[in-house]
Structure 1
Amino acid sequence: MKSIKPTNYDQYLFHSGKHYQAYDFMGAHPGEYNGESGTKFTVWAPNAEKISVVGDFNDWQKNKNQLKKIEDSGLWVGFIPEARPGDKYKYWITGYNGQERVKADPYAFKAEKKPKTASIVTDMDKYQWNDSKWLKTRENTDILKEPVSIYEVHLGSWKRNSKNEVYNYKEIADLLIPYLQEMNYTHVELLPIAEHPFDGSWGYQTTGYFALTSRYGSPEDFKYFVDKCHQARIGVIIDWVPSHFCKDDHGLRLFDGTELYESNIKLRAENPQWDTLNFDFGQPEVWSFLISNAIFWFEEYHIDGIRADAVSNMLYLDYGKENSNWVPNEYGGRENIDAIKFLRKMNEVVFSQYPGVMMIAEESTSWPQVTSPGYIGGLGFNMKWNMGWMNDTLEYMKSDPVFRKWEHNKLTFSLMYTYSENFVLPLSHDEVVHGKRSLLDKMPGDYWQKFANLRLLYAYMMAHPGKKLLFMGGEFGQFIEWNYKQELDWFLLDYTKHQEIQNFVRDLNQTYLNESPLWELDYSPKGFAWIEPNDNSQSVLSLIRYNTNDQPVIIALNFTPVPRDNYRIGVPKEGVYEVILNSDEDIYGGSEYSGKTKYQTDAREYHGFPYSIELTLPPLAGIYLKPAKDKRKISRP
């Protein structure tokens, strides 16, 4: 390369918010320039008076390697022959008012392991990928019509070694991937793995957006993890935080002595609920920073999806604030117009470059059209967490079965809006911390009933339209709340009941994969029909899921500890119905109340269907059935 200066076109795109690979020239890039080896540095700091690069290569002396400001631009550039991959560095910035700050590189690809905070010069081109077949298949796949069962993981506390030390990405790959395969998950979702200073933020307060956290190893180690997941046919989703950033002095806050990444309007910048700073989406360079960061994770690490955290905080100027502590938009409203435009553009850019990936919004309000395209007024995501379903369902499941008949609408209300968005059903980390108790401990009743209720919860989730997500530990009945400081209580698998709930989740996932009616039409009303949604007196739900060929799976769920003998439901087809899953089986810790595996239809119209069957519904249990194989036509109600 002849020049270290970004091209005029690169500068134009960057300053107009349209540079979607800004990481290609921003930050530290080792290489050869004018025949000389070294590292090129570029940083955006328009209001700085002077910037030096300090690091291992100059004994951290601030006057040795000064950058030059590009005229009429906020970019500073420089070339340091002595700087090599592996060297630690920071920017020594003299602000416009003479105040000095020492900052990590916003575009650094690697950072020191906490509590140290320096950036590290990194060569990102050393890993040889082996997942081209996976990527080609992904490009031509409509993920909305595929099975998606996600295992949500915090890498630092899934498992640890005998010294209570975290595993690195390679070690985790060799442990976690076989487990994901054994448990029949399709995807793994990782809590944020960009660099963050405080373990207790779980990664949701970021300092290094392009820097993979060094807690678990190197960029090559994580590429190995993703590559091995793909070779095992497992997709990788990461949590990503484009909404706000932490205030640590080495991070983005007051980067050049002024508000660059945050708003210069204090009430908009300050985020009191998390003590962080909100990004300023009216700043085009922030668009280039964040959109290129999303692209970076897909391009450099081959990930398959992003779950954007705290989207509601982006959309509403008054989110989490008292009435007097926010500034309305230019029309007097609470909507963040710049953030809305940003989200639309970000999703448009991601899907144009990476068809087949997932862009998932964690949006906790009823903002419309989150998963509709931007050109019709949507935000452009292709999936959204269904927080309403999660809240209603857990409230229902926590109630004593005696009182559930009066809470029945909490199970059925979600079907009033389930096709308004492309939903993911999350039972996530947020529901098992801060005094909320673990999923198992939320369940009412005695010891046996707690496990039965948990199996029933999972059976209901898998029957409901939408993709699925379960946080680690939930699959084997973790009894205590999640603690990020220690590994999950794997010793519980020495006890039969925890082995049995794990067996059930494994087989439930397998049933889900095997039966296309449970996922093929997740986002179409053609894929779902109630049989009987209103039997609140007995707290029983019955429903049908269909695939594109009209093949049904019948699900009946009994939410009381009272068995329901001779429970008649309508069905769409004459013949024999086979039980393909029963949460009350002995191998799952059930009562084995009914060992019946086949039901013959009666020519008796019921629930609007031409045929019906009489089921034996076990206590606190769900059963899945489907017609024995034949070619007779199915009649819908």
Structure 2
Amino acid sequence: MLCLVSPSSSPTPLPPPRRSRSHADRAAPPGIAGGGNVRLSVLSVQCKARRSGVRKVKSKFATAATVQEDKTMATAKGDVDHLPIYDLDPKLEIFKDHFRYRMKRFLEQKGSIEENEGSLESFSKGYLKFGINTNEDGTVYREWAPAAQEAELIGDFNDWNGANHKMEKDKFGVWSIKIDHVKGKPAIPHNSKVKFRFLHGGVWVDRIPALIRYATVDASKFGAPYDGVHWDPPASERYTFKHPRPSKPAAPRIYEAHVGMSGEKPAVSTYREFADNVLPRIRANNYNTVQLMAVMEHSYYASFGYHVTNFFAVSSRSGTPEDLKYLVDKAHSLGLRVLMDVVHSHASNNVTDGLNGYDVGQSTQESYFHAGDRGYHKLWDSRLFNYANWEVLRFLLSNLRYWLDEFMFDGFRFDGVTSMLYHHHGINVGFTGNYQEYFSLDTAVDAVVYMMLANHLMHKLLPEATVVAEDVSGMPVLCRPVDEGGVGFDYRLAMAIPDRWIDYLKNKDDSEWSMGEIAHTLTNRRYTEK
């Protein structure tokens, strides 16, 4: 269990840590409760590619054809009927069918990726293949849009006329175009505005590229749409990291912050202002980790960054990608690790500037999101990912790899994990700790498998990564390693602790404070899970 704590010494005043938005329910379940006997029927699972028309990939983007054996592969060769989690908590054996099915689904998906993409690590480098990338030969743009009938790349580089920049579609629904250099220079200059134009149902629509790395808006125009910006600065303008990542602390002390709200002036603060003015104060107050909210671009500022529109773009209100790199590097120079608030539980329903714009009524397998009611979160008014889709997995895993590799983040706090874990998303559900609430037909196994893949990948890429789950249900083994049968997170965010402090400070006199209640809230976690 992980809480955002304030160390005992506080020599320098700090802005109060920001708190994330509430879920429908925040009931704090007991550590280990009685089990139930709900059993999932075990499907006959064969280790084969589930994607129609899957082909072997020999790509220049692949890094290694041979994958070194790890604990998870050893589990695949071993007996998934007896996972180490049963030794930690024998009550979980009642749900052996669930865990067997879940682990086989994970191993099947991982095996399919390795067979068809080279390795999970290669698969997670999708950001080097999709989106706009410049190499020695020219500029290549790829976009997954299977529902599109025609497609063009437009921007100020071609006066927003795509007649000469038509794209071609392959059998997997991926559109692509290669544009040769002009006089030895990229045809699409750095800082060019760009959009993806496609035809569907006789109507042409313009969308921001799904993997755009920067997006801006004309703030002087009310309601103006965002534009995608091709971010490819020359070497002289690229930020170069100077400091290594600090070692992983035994006990993270985390200061959660919203960069835009961190300044003293009534204005949106910048990454560089935060780095120069706030980070030293955080370090002086004995924190060892900073958790940044609202990093990914979100057109609705009041969403606190939780209605993401552009998953690979930094929030432009606070600066450029190079400015964010400066912030992370400055934190590392002070011995501070930096976690990023990552939102893979849902996406903004914005059409003109968000990923939702690629949903034009096609089937679930041709979209980033589920079709119908399953694809909408009725409380958050947002779209829900289809975690079983091959290209959605590529998009999300590549998104994590991108922030780790390009910006040197030290880990993530996964937002809205409770919503991901269950088909009911935790809406109007008061979790009591009964195991039947965690392992039943309500469990969203596709999402669980995605999180297992994500945690396995991150800890392989960066063994000292810190990955935190914002879960208020108390799902068992959420914070046990994947090779043991768990979901793989390092910590579960202790949401009940700040709620308890707020309740005490607002509603109770000092004489009414219960030391027993406080101690229970601080230590209420499952055995062997943090």
Same fold (TM over 0.5): yes
Choose which of 131, 135, 139 in structure 2 pairs with 1:39: 139
Q: Whole-Å Cα distance in 2 between the matches of residues 382 and 264 of structure 1?
A: 29
Aligned to 1:27: 131
Aligned to 2:178: 79
Q: 1:102 to 1:322 in 2, by over 3 A?
A: farther
Q: Does 1:99 align with 2:198?
A: no
Aligned to 2:503: 395
| 1:112 to partner: Cα distance | 1.4
Aligned to 1:52: 152
Deviations 1:370-411 (A, max 9, x none): 110122221101011112334344434444337626x55422
Q: Whole-Å Cα distance in 1 between the matches of residues 228 and 57 of structure 2?
A: 25
Choose which of 461, 465, 476 in structure 2 pairs with 1:353: 461
The alignment-based identity, stated in percent, is 27
Q: Does 1:271 align with 2:271?
A: no
Aligned to 1:490: none
Q: 1:103 to 1:13 in 2, by over 3 A?
A: farther
Deviations 1:312-361 (A, max 9, x none): 010011125579xxxxxxx9711101001000110000000001121011
Aligned to 1:542: none
Q: Whole-Å Cα distance in 2 between the matches of residues 269 and 275 of structure 1?
A: 10
More strand by percentage: 1
Q: Does the CA-based 8 Å contact 1:91-1:102 persist in structure 2?
A: yes
Deviations 1:223-263 (A, max 9, x none): 11111111111111111100100111132115152254444
Aligned to 1:234: 336
Deviations 1:453-490 (A, max 9, x none): xxxxxxxxxxxxxxxxxxxxxxxxxxxxxxxxxxxxxx
Q: 1:263 to 1:25 in 2, by over 3 A?
A: closer
Bigger relative contact order (CA 8 A; separation at least 6): 2
Greater radius of gyration (CA):
1
Deviations 1:115-144 (A, max 9, x none): 54111112276222101xx33x53xx4x3x
Q: Does the CA-based 8 Å contact 2:370-2:385 persist in structure 1?
A: no
Choose which of 292, 296, 299 in structure 2 pairs with 1:194: 296
Q: 1:421 to 1:360 in 2, by over 3 A?
A: farther
Q: Does 1:412 align with 2:515?
A: no
| 1:270 to partner: Cα distance | 0.8
| 1:171 to partner: Cα distance | 2.6
Choose which of 276, 279, 290 in structure 1 pairs with 2:396: 290
Q: Does the CA-based 8 Å contact 1:272-1:320 persist in structure 2?
A: no
Letter in 2 for 1:303: F
Aligned to 2:424: 318
Q: Does the CA-based 8 Å contact 1:243-1:278 persist in structure 2?
A: yes
Q: Whole-Å Cα distance in 2 between the matches of residues 230 and 332 of structure 1?
A: 43
SS of 2:355's equivalent in the other structure is coil
SS of 1:85's equivalent in the other structure is coil
Aligned to 1:441: none
Aligned to 2:256: 152
Q: 1:378 to 1:13 in 2, by over 3 A?
A: closer
Aligned to 2:89: none
Q: 1:109 to 1:402 in 2, by over 3 A?
A: closer
TM-score of the aligned structures, taking structure 2 as reference length: 0.69
TM-score of the aligned structures, taking structure 1 as reference length: 0.58
Task: Map 1:96-175; keep pairs closer than 5 Å.
Answer: 97-113=201-217, 115-123=224-232, 126-131=238-243, 134-135=244-245, 138=247, 141=248, 143=249, 145=250, 147-161=251-265, 164-175=266-277
Q: Does the CA-based 8 Å contact 1:52-1:67 persist in structure 2?
A: yes
Q: Whole-Å Cα distance in 2 between the matches of residues 254 and 365 of structure 1?
A: 32
Q: Whole-Å Cα distance in 2 between the matches of residues 99 and 367 of structure 1?
A: 46
SS of 1:253's equivalent in the other structure is helix
Deviations 1:403-461 (A, max 9, x none): 626x55422323664353644xxxxxxxxxxxxxxxxxxxxxxxxxxxxxxxxxxxxxx
Choose which of 360, 377, 384 in structure 1 pairs with 2:485: 377
Q: Whole-Å Cα distance in 1 between the matches of residues 155 and 395 of structure 2?
A: 24
Q: 1:165 to 1:392 in 2, by over 3 A?
A: closer
Unaligned runs of 5+ residues in structure 2 are 1-55, 63-111, 182-186, 430-438
Q: Does 1:386 align with 2:494?
A: yes
Task: Map 1:461-610; keep pairs closer than 5 Å.
Answer: none
Choose which of 194, 197, 207 in structure 2 pairs with 1:89: 194
Q: 1:159 to 1:389 in 2, by over 3 A?
A: closer
| 1:172 to partner: Cα distance | 2.3
Number of residue pairs matched? Answer: 394
Q: Does the CA-based 8 Å contact 1:189-1:239 persist in structure 2?
A: yes
Q: Whole-Å Cα distance in 2 between the matches of residues 235 and 322 of structure 1?
A: 36
Aligned to 1:182: 284
Aligned to 1:365: 473
| 1:214 to partner: Cα distance | 1.1
Aligned to 1:622: none
Choose which of 168, 171, 174 in structure 2 pairs with 1:68: 168
Letter in 2 for 1:121: H
Aligned to 1:471: none
Letter in 1 for 2:458: V
Deviations 1:539-579 (A, max 9, x none): xxxxxxxxxxxxxxxxxxxxxxxxxxxxxxxxxxxxxxxxx
Q: Does the CA-based 8 Å contact 1:273-1:320 persist in structure 2?
A: no
Q: Whole-Å Cα distance in 1 between the matches of residues 496 and 528 of structure 2?
A: 12
Unaligned runs of 5+ residues in structure 1 are 1-5, 324-330, 424-637
Deviations 1:246-304 (A, max 9, x none): 11113211515225444444121110111001111111211111111111111100011
Q: 1:415 to 1:197 in 2, by over 3 A?
A: closer
SS of 2:393's equivalent in the other structure is helix
Q: Does the CA-based 8 Å contact 1:48-1:256 persist in structure 2?
A: no
Q: Whole-Å Cα distance in 2 between the matches of residues 253 and 267 of structure 1?
A: 15
SS of 2:164's equivalent in the other structure is coil
Aligned to 1:255: 358
Q: Does the CA-based 8 Å contact 1:252-1:261 persist in structure 2?
A: no
SS of 1:221's equivalent in the other structure is helix
Q: 1:355 to 1:332 in 2, by over 3 A?
A: closer
Letter in 1 for 2:239: Y
Q: Whole-Å Cα distance in 2 between the matches of residues 54 and 252 of structure 1?
A: 18
Q: Whole-Å Cα distance in 2 between the matches of residues 107 and 402 of structure 1?
A: 52
Q: Whole-Å Cα distance in 2 between the matches of residues 364 and 105 of structure 1?
A: 34
Q: Does the CA-based 8 Å contact 1:370-1:421 persist in structure 2?
A: no
Choose which of 216, 226, 238 in structure 1 pairs with 2:318: 216
Letter in 2 for 1:83: I
Q: 1:384 to 1:421 in 2, by over 3 A?
A: farther
Aligned to 1:506: none
Q: Does the CA-based 8 Å contact 1:262-1:269 persist in structure 2?
A: no
| 1:27 to partner: Cα distance | 0.2
Q: Does 1:302 align with 2:411?
A: no
